[in-house]
Amino acid sequence: MGSVATEDSSSFPKKSVPSGAWDTHHHIFEPDRFPFAEGRHFTPARASLEDLRKFEKSIEVDHVCIAHGLSYGPDCRSLLYYLEQFRGQARGICVLDLETISDELLDEYHEAGVRSVRLDFFRHKAMDNVQIQAELIEATAKRLAKWGRPGWSIQIQQPHLEFWPRLRDVVDSCPVPVVVDHFALIAGSSYRANDHTTNTQDDSYLAEGERIGLAALCETLRNGNLWIKLSAPYRCSNLAPGYDDLRWLVRCFVDANPRRVVWGSDWPHTQRHKDRAGKSSTSEEAFLQIDDKAWIESLSRWMSEDEWQLLWVENPATLYDYHE
């Protein structure tokens, strides 16, 4: 694809978070109130509802979309409780057990403000298997389509850029939108080099198969049924706090379709998957310390005013079926 960074796309003025902004990806962990599930792949520390409110206020966000923590499994009682505390001003992303979920429970989720289903690729051993990923997306979409409620989507997280030529066909034919987390986990050049200095502003460090995958991903964005979360840059870059080696990637996504990108914090900033290797899944895991304000300022300089407004306000309201 070659370099996509230009002078115009990297030197916009600094911008504030606009009124009506959304944080579309974060969690709440209160194991003293809602115990974690057996068989979870990690055990996060406590991050309370009160802590979340303070965080969102600090970055001037008005609306939240709560992503049900995978450490809770498909038991979404905590999600319903937290949505109730926001009194209709929030949205939620649930985890489903397709074999047991009833239409009546889905109706309850919908009325509570849930509008998306988070697929647990860890539990299904699908993180490295594109066929299982495709089957899970298709099965979940079929269940949602059969249920018949509009405004829902499917959320995925997977690390293989080379999977997108296959996933493109799945997403394009899906009866509901598909949302991919965290820059589609495309590693910036510093992350790929495992250092804190490398800052390549194009896709030249990607392997040929990865470039083909990126082209397929951007084509799927243009087609309109795929959404990308600009979230958790620390999962893709070592250049904190501005993550400058992701600038070209942001422009790649925004240029493909500025109406299909949304912002998410990934608060309370759980550790990266690779940092959990060899650790017990039941040992409490501390959170990362991330300078979110510096990251937001950096990102604001990569986008126009119109793109910035879409990212924070109009796109998430559209995706999550929110009407004032």
Summarize the confidence of residues 102-129 as an average pLDDT: 96
In the predicted structure, residue 253 carries a pLDDT above the cut 50 = yes
Q: What are 35's two structure tokens?
A: 């115990």
The predicted pLDDT at position 168 comes to: 98
168-176 average pLDDT score: 98
Q: Which of 183, 174, 127, 178 is nearest to 154 (CA)?
A: 178
Quick one: 8 exposed, middle or buried, by C-beta within 10 A (0-12, 13-18, 19+)?
exposed
**Domains in the chain: ranges and CATH:** 24-319 (3.20.20.140)
Contact 24, 316 (CB under 8 A): yes
Residue 40, class by beta-carbon neighbours within 10 Å (0-12 exposed, 13-18 middle, 19+ buried)? middle
What pLDDT is attached to residue 77? Answer: 96
Strand 284-285 with 153-156, pairing: unpaired
Cis peptide before 13 (omega within 30 of 0): no
Is the pLDDT confidence value at 149 over 80?
Answer: yes
Distances (CA, A) of 316 to 11, 20, 68: 25, 10, 17
User: Contacts from 136-139 at CB under 8 Å and sequence distance 24+?
Assistant: 137/167, 137/170, 137/171, 137/174, 137/178, 138/170, 138/174, 139/98
Across 287-314, average pLDDT: 98
List, for residues 136-147, the tens digit of each pLDDT value. 999 999 999 999
What's the whole-model pTM score? 0.94
Q: Are 125 and 89 in contact (CB under 8 A)?
A: no
pLDDT at 273 over 90: no
* Region at 148 (left for phi over 0; alpha for psi -120 to 50; beta for the rest): left
Please state, for a pLDDT cut of 70, what percent of the chain lies above it: 97
Average pLDDT for 186-211: 97
105, 84 contact by CB (below 8 A): no
pLDDT of residue 79: 98
**pLDDT class for 10, splitting at 50, 70, 90?**
low
